[in-house]
């Protein structure tokens, strides 16, 4: 469970790196990840280049 994901700011380098790392874990670890936050759909976290799929990966 990753809580307060709405606090990630994708406009900053550190926020983008955390987003990339979470995506890496979700694609490569045999586990289920649950993300919780406020207005996450509107934040762009799961859209665009960072929110897209990698070849052979999970969303």
User: pLDDT tens, 16-48?
Assistant: 899 889 889 989 999 998 989 898 877 777 766
Q: Is the residue at 59 inside a domain?
A: no
Q: Is the residue at 58 inside a domain?
A: no
**Angle at the Cα of 26 from the Cα atoms of 1 and 32, rounded to 5 degrees:** 50
What is the chain's Cα-based Rg? 11
Give the ranges where 1-59 is alpha helix by DSSP (H): 13-28, 40-43, 48-51
Residue 35's domain comprises: 5-51
Phi-psi category of 49—alpha, beta or left, where left has phi over 0 and alpha has psi -120 to 50? alpha
Count of domains observed in the chain = 1
**Cα–Cα distance, 28 to 47 (Å, whole number):** 20
Q: Is the residue at 56 inside a domain?
A: no
Beta bridge mates, 30: none
pTM of full prediction above 0.85: no
């Amino acid at each position: 469970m990753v809580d307060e994901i709405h606090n990630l700011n994708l406009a900053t380098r550190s926020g983008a790196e955390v987003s990339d790392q979470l995506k890496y874990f979700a694609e490569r670890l045999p586990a289920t990840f649950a993300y919780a936050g406020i207005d996450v759909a509107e934040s762009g976290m799961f859209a665009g280049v960072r929110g897209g799929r990698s070849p052979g990966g999970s969303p």
